[in-house]
Copies of this chain bind each other. A is one copy, B any other.
């Protein structure tokens, strides 16, 4: 087997998403949490902050930051607001057709 034959993680996910209805439902419903995760991780790592430091800045706790960055939980609006208060981050959300989408920039 050639290395180029290996499937990417995204390909594997997409394949299962198409085959498994239950998986698709769960995956899609947590899309927003994963998008938030990416933003938080990027912000923190670009500034060389630890989770504990970001927690102190935002008034959150280190385990809460970890859960957000792992996309484990759907954050509350209040939590997103805390993130933006001390960081300069901002989140633009479109709630439409039963879903929550994060609008880039």
Contact = CB atoms under 8 A, between A and B. Distances in A.
The oligomer's copy count stands at 2
B91 A95 contact: yes
Contact of A94 (B32, B74, B92): B92
Contacts of A74: 77-78
A100 B76 contact: no
A81 interface: yes
Contact of A99 (B76, B81, B95, B97): B81
B93 A95 contact: yes
Given A90-B95, A93-B92, A93-B93, A100 B77 contact: yes
Contacts of A104: none
Interface of A: 32, 74, 76-78, 80-86, 90-100
21 contacts: A32-B77, A74-B77, A76-B76, A77-B77, A77-B93, A77-B95, A81-B98, A81-B99, A81-B100, A82-B98, A83-B95, A84-B95, A84-B99, A85-B97, A85-B98, A90-B94, A91-B93, A91-B96, A92-B93, A92-B95, A93-B93
